[in-house]
């Protein structure tokens, strides 16, 4: 009997080892540090959703000195999380990025200003200083100013642009009249710094119809010519969206999983998860072509890109992922 048990155990271990050896290796490069902004991917990994699809996924955190577009161009990732503005700019420069899924169906970007300050409406922007993130995050702001007909070169008829740090200090220290925030992150940093919601004037990009696509999943175009890679991306997207759906339904647990993967401040991560859930929509990861067209046109209008992108997205991956 003991020999039979040993044989069965050995067989099970051999099968597990064989399955592990057969798993496809996928490297995901995030746009920023480990936080609930990326909870769906960490949940998919923690809950075994990637493993169930036969994938071995490595999740690489980002940071202020990491540009996902450069990482994938250099072979350091198979798939990246990026904003479409930066992705389309990179595509025109020769990094042939293709959007294969759009988990964030709404923008989390806002501009906030103290209500007791000089800016109450868009008409008040002229001559004032506005904080803006760069490194590919500036394109929605410049598209908005272009829509308003305001120069971003300063002067009485334009706005002064402050290259903002990734925090709320420019507002706290009164270096800018308004600053950029995400609904799920820096907005709450401002609240924690002593601002009350009723004390802020909020310009929400989505509500104004100025939202450009954020936090999409991108791969290199030539990789999609490989049927095996393409099938692995279908599996990856399916498992990732399953992770997002679970995170939306179990926000506290999702935040705890993020904490286990390097997230900071559990209460902040839980609050962030609640806000991020509002941006995921139906959790299918499907791209809205109308928002894509608006994003591309906004970049064209500013000459940030010089020609209409072709082949910059595909719906084949999400279509196939949602069939099972």
**Cα–Cα distance measured from residue 217 to residue 232, given in angstroms and rounded to the nearest whole number:** 14
Q: Give DSSP secondary structure letters for 147-202.
A: HHT-BSS-STTB-EEEE--SSSHHHHTTS-SBEEEETTTHHHHHHHTT--GGGEEE
**Cα–Cα distance measured from residue 184 to residue 172, given in angstroms and rounded to the nearest whole number:** 19
Give tens-digit pLDDT for 112-170. Answer: 999 999 999 999 999 999 999 988 889 999 999 999 999 999 988 899 999 998 899 99
Residue 283 gets the label, from left (phi > 0), alpha (psi -120 to 50) or beta, of left
Q: How many domains are contained in the chain?
A: 2
Q: Over 90: is that where the pLDDT of 28 sits?
A: yes
Domain boundary among 178, 208, 238: 208
Judgement on whether residues 224 and 316 belong to the same structural domain of the protein: yes
CATH number of domain containing 69: 3.40.190.10
Judgement on whether residues 53 and 125 belong to the same structural domain of the protein: no
Judgement on whether residues 9 and 76 belong to the same structural domain of the protein: yes
Judgement on whether residues 265 and 296 belong to the same structural domain of the protein: yes
Contact assessment for residue 67 and residue 286, using Cβ atoms and an 8 Å cutoff? no
Contact assessment for residue 156 and residue 126, using Cβ atoms and an 8 Å cutoff? yes
Domain boundary among 208, 233, 262: 208
Question: What's the pLDDT at 140?
Answer: 92
Q: Over 70: is that where the pLDDT of 12 sits?
A: no
Name which of 97, 27, 106 is nearest 59 in CA terms.
27
Judgement on whether residues 118 and 168 belong to the same structural domain of the protein: yes
**What is the pTM (predicted TM-score) of this model?**
0.89
Judgement on whether residues 198 and 225 belong to the same structural domain of the protein: no
Judgement on whether residues 225 and 99 belong to the same structural domain of the protein: yes
Judgement on whether residues 118 and 235 belong to the same structural domain of the protein: no
Structural domain span for residue 70: 2-106+213-321
Domain boundary among 208, 233, 258: 208
Question: What's the pLDDT at 18?
Answer: 44
Which tokens sit at 221? 């175009």
Judgement on whether residues 199 and 218 belong to the same structural domain of the protein: no
Judgement on whether residues 237 and 192 belong to the same structural domain of the protein: no
Judgement on whether residues 151 and 187 belong to the same structural domain of the protein: yes
Mean pLDDT of the chain: 92
Q: Would you report the helix, strand and coil content of the chain in percent, each value rounded to 5?
A: 45, 15, 35
Q: How many CB atoms lie within 10 A of CB 308?
A: 11
Q: 256-281: string of b/e by CB count within 10 Å (b at 16+)? A: bbbbebebeeeebbbbbbbbbbebbb
């Amino acid at each position: 009997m003991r020999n039979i048990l040993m044989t069965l155990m050995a067989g099970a271990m051999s099968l597990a080892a064989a399955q592990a050896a057969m798993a496809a290796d996928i490297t995901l490069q995030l746009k920023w540090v480990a936080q609930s902004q990326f909870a769906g991917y960490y949940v998919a990994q923690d809950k075994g959703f990637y493993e169930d699809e036969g994938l071995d996924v490595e999740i690489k955190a980002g940071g202020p000195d990491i540009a996902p577009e450069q990482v994938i161009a250099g072979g350091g990732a198979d798939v990246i999380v990026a904003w479409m503005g930066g992705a389309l700019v990179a595509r025109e420069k020769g990094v042939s990025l293709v959007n294969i899924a759009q988990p964030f169906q709404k923008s989390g970007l806002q501009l906030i200003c103290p209500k007791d300050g000089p800016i109450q409406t868009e008409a008040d922007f002229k001559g004032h200083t506005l904080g803006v993130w760069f490194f590919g995050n500036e394109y929605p702001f410049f598209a908005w100013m272009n829509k308003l007909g305001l120069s971003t070169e300063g002067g009485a008829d334009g706005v002064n642009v402050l290259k903002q740090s990734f925090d709320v200090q420019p507002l706290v220290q009164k270096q800018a009249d308004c600053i950029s925030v995400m609904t799920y992150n820096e907005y709450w940093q401002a609240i924690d710094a002593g601002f009350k919601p009723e004390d802020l004037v909020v310009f929400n990009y989505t509500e104004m119809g100025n939202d450009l696509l954020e936090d999409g999943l991108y791969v290199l175009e030539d990789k999609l010519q490989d049927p095996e890679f393409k099938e692995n991306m279908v599996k990856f997207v399916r498992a990732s969206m399953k992770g997002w759906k679970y995170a939306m339904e179990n926000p506290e647990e999702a935040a705890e999983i993020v904490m286990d993967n390097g997230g900071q401040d559990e209460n902040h991560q839980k609050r962030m998860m609640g806000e991020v859930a509002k941006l995921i929509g139906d959790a299918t990861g499907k791209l809205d072509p109308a928002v894509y067209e608006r994003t591309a046109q906004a970049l064209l209008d500013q000459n940030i890109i010089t020609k209409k992108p072709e082949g910059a997205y595909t719906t084949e991956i999400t279509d196939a992922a949602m069939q099972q």
